Amino acid sequence: MRLQLAHNAENTRATSLDFVFANAVANLNRVSLLTESDRPEALEFLKKRPVHTVVMTSFINDNGIESPNNRGKFYAYRNAAGQLEGVALIGHTTLVESHSENALTALALKARESETPIKIMMSDGDSIEYFWQFYSGEQHEPRLVCEERLFEIKFPVIVRDPVENLRLATEADLLPVAEAHAEIAFVESGINPLEKDREGFLKRVLRRINQNRVWVVFDNEKLVFQTQIVAETDDVKYLEGVYVNPEYRGQGIGSNCLSQLSRTLLENVKHVCLLSNVEFQGAHKAYAKAGFKSKDCCVTIFV
């Protein structure tokens, strides 16, 4: 009886997936490429969840909807009434904001056609894993799946010891900043971007420096702390690559720097957020000391 029940459950699951897949194929005609004329509509849709969609919104504000700097293309899914139910940036880093199963599955099938090789997929909860099922057709496994916690801070904030030499990075800081950021990327993904695409990676880090989005602390010529504002909107600043030199860890430097930086950033926005692998418990303690609170779970898939 147990074997029969298990067999029936598996058949039900397969039938259900087949039905959803067939429905997704039928809904592909509701997916369209976004253009600059769609900017107001897309931004209004993404505005409904500003913390979760900060990266896509920032890309649109920084680069426009149609730009090689996005390293991909923006697509929309509209329901039968023509209303937006999903927006995705499909490319090197694929980001998905979906308000319906139909949108999620149709956008996943559209991702199969991406001209830019997909390396990373991200969304909140288990949405991206469901997206992956339809993108891959369950034919192969991702290279790596990381569960991450979304940390957020807003006023009122904790005031910790001041860090007098916390400052914006300059072009002269490019190499140590890039090396630190690449080290974090390697720990997270197993790929060092300085080895994979040195010129492109240095160009992207330099652009952030020139946008006044990289914060550092140096002890003489040694980099002690760095983090980068990878994305920002009117309401949110999203940090990535929080790094403390191994020689200075365990001294509260990371939490003090994040506390002071957050107070500075929150003068202009409502939220500061970051993602961190669930396994990095030491880092999580530093974020908590700085006043950050764990708000949600996200999944990152490395293709």
Measured distance CA(126)–CA(216) in Å, rounded: 34
CB half-sphere exposure, 168, CA atoms < 13 A: 12
Mean pLDDT of 68-72: 97
**DSSP structural state of residue 29:** G
Place of tokens 């020689």: 247
Q: What is the tens place of the pLDDT at every residue in 141-151?
A: 999 999 999 99
Query: Would you say residue 17 has pLDDT above 50?
Result: yes
Q: Which pLDDT value is given to residue 124?
A: 85
On whether both 77 and 13 belong to a single domain, the answer is yes
On whether both 232 and 211 belong to a single domain, the answer is yes
**Structural domain range at position 191:** 152-297
Q: Which two tokens stand for residue 83?
A: 């209303």
On whether both 56 and 88 belong to a single domain, the answer is yes
On whether both 127 and 200 belong to a single domain, the answer is no
Mean pLDDT of 45-57: 97
Q: Which pLDDT value is given to residue 8?
A: 43
CATH classification at residue 185? 3.40.630.30
On whether both 216 and 293 belong to a single domain, the answer is yes
Q: Report yes or no: 293 and 158 within 8 Å, Cβ to Cβ.
A: no
Q: Which pLDDT value is given to residue 3?
A: 35
**Pairing relationship of beta strands 72-78 and 222-232 according to DSSP bridges:** unpaired
Q: How confident is the model at residue 195 (pLDDT cuts 50, 70, 90)?
A: very high
Task: Please say which residue of 114, 141, 168 terminates a domain.
Answer: 141
Sign of CA dihedral 36, 40, 44, 50: positive
Task: Please say which residue of 120, 141, 162 terminates a domain.
Answer: 141
Task: Please say which residue of 93, 109, 141 terminates a domain.
Answer: 141
